[in-house]
A and B are shown apart, each in its own frame.
Chain A
Amino acid sequence: QKEVEQDPGPLSVPEGAIVSLNCTYSNSAFQYFMWYRQYSRKGPELLMYTYSSGNKEDGRFTAQVDKSSKYISLFIRDSQPSDSATYLCAMRSNTGNQFYFGTGTSLTVIP
């Protein structure tokens, strides 16, 4: 079983839609959770960072962490064509220095 599972998509939505991206994980020791956005042939850009459980909102983006279910989500409201990219979830524990990544979900927002 992989440490982090993420549906690769592709996901295609109309402009203005609400997008839900998800990852599940198996290691209950994970405490730090991140979402990255990666445009083609660019390095990933940190979008959201959450410690432990709970919600975090930043503009049109909301990150949720449910540690009891080992499940994290990223919601994008009022999606824009510029949101078209691959979204990667990442996480790590308090111990060790390795980050674990999902495979990424490819999102296309259609104008």
Chain B
Amino acid sequence: GAVVSQHPSWVICKSGTSVKIECRSLDFQATTMFWYRQFPKQSLMLMATSNEGSKATYEQGVEKDKFLINHASLTLSTLTVTSAHPEDSSFYICSAETGLTNEKLFFGSGTQLSVL
């Protein structure tokens, strides 16, 4: 299957700092990437849809000024959590779609963010 690389795997930061998470499609070009947030023992919560070269589309209730998404190339999307606070602590996962009609979704390994 297609490989999506996500870094870092985990990060601990102080409240008020910004954290950048990278998501790369290693062996395919991803015109669309998705960012999810997942709380313990809960399912994936879609945060935003990121299309290469255009502004991300955020889901209702997700602050676009806090969660900055940049999809500068067909293989890289980044999520920056700005001025992080303890309530932003969560597991963040990126995914990219591929296939002839973009019908398959492949996920990164996730990033555990802990804000102190």
Contacts and interface: CB of A to CB of B under 8 A. Distances in A.
Contacts, number: 52
Contact of A104 (B6, B43, B95): B43
Interface string A72-111: 0000000000000000101010100111011110100000
Interface SS of chain B: strand
Interface residues of B, number: 26
A45 B46 CA distance: 17
Given A41-B91, A88-B44, A98-B49, A51 B103 contact: yes
Interface stretch (B67-75, B79-87, B108-116): B108-116
Nearest to B94: A43
A41 B34 CA distance: 18
A90 B106 CA distance: 12
B112 A97 contact: no
B110 A43 contact: yes
Nearest to B93: A43
A43 B104 contact: no
B103 A45 contact: no
Nearest to B31: A97
A34 B96 CA distance: 14
